[in-house]
Amino acid sequence: MTRPEEPNPRSLSNWRLQIGRLEGAYADSTLRAYRADFTAFDEWCHTAGYEALPASPETVAAFIAHDAVKSSPATLRRRLSGIRKVHRLLRLGNPVDDEDVAIAMRRALRTKPRRQKQALGLTRVLRDQLIAACPETLQGKRDRAVFAVGYDTLCRRAELVSLRREDLSPLENGAMSILVRRAKNDPFGDGRYGFLTPPTARLLLDWLDAAGIKQGFLFRRITRHWIGPGALHPYSVNRILKEAAKKAGLAPEVVADLSGHSMRVGAAQDLMADGLGILPIMQAGGWKSMNVLGRYVEHVEIGLHARVRRF
């Protein structure tokens, strides 16, 4: 029986190349997270005098204790995922699934609130304020369409910027449907269909006609009236929302709480307030977990219950 070869120490420094092996098998955002999280671990190990590769459970536990001072529970879990993945790619022992690491994580989590801050919901009232604040320019037409389509389809920002013109289909009375090809919880591209109301369809077609987009990505970067061929970056959705909110004269705290997730949150809240059940809302937004959706609409449910008690 042949003994397994020892890891080549020179190859351990090339962990970024190993992450490159995952191209096409994972979302770009996942690969960025692996790189960023293992970089944070690698740099800390270098500063603190520990070996990052291969890392011992004691090293990982010490890193978690250090990183817990500034990182959220979600970030800490993501850090462990990145450390685990790099070790697996290099066929090294997994230092993460160890009792010392579990204890360090439990200790870190007990010092932090479990509940994550929810993005402000861009309900239809706020959506309409942002749409009204957009100027009659090429960029204004695009931004109006972004707000309307993002709200109607309940898309996450990465899903929104990945929508394509060839996936649009006309429906009766001026409405449209669009295929959302891939989602965060749909890695293999089963897809789902989003519905665009007639007003949203008009705003979208107004932008597409003005931009001359016949095929490809719906939403693109604009530079001095030049429209790029590639999709708008997901991070740009946040910026577009905040810029429009400032133009609309919204309060600074409202602007600060808006994010690329706000359209998804606000649409779910409006659907719940309109009396739609949990399962139809889950289908509309592509949710797989009732608990996640429950977090989005919990304030709406509290308001509805309070109104019922008044009567």
Identity of the residue numbered 299: H
Q: Please determine whether the domains at 11-110 and 124-310 fall in the same fold group of CATH.
A: no
- The CATH number of the domain covering residues in 11-110: 1.10.150.130
pLDDT of residue 275: 81
Give backbone dihedrals phi and psi of 257, rounded to 5 degrees, phi first: -85, -10
Structure token pair of residue 192: 């789902």
**Blockwise average pLDDT, block size 10, the chain, 311 residues:** 47 82 87 94 95 95 94 92 95 94 93 66 93 95 97 92 94 93 64 91 96 94 85 92 95 91 89 80 72 63 40 37
Task: Write down the domain spans for the chain.
Answer: 11-110, 124-310
pLDDT of residue 128: 96
pLDDT of residue 85: 96
Q: Compute the distance between CA of residue 107 and CA of residue 102 in angstroms, rounded to an integer.
A: 9
pLDDT of residue 149: 97
Query: Class of 124-310 per CATH?
Result: mainly alpha
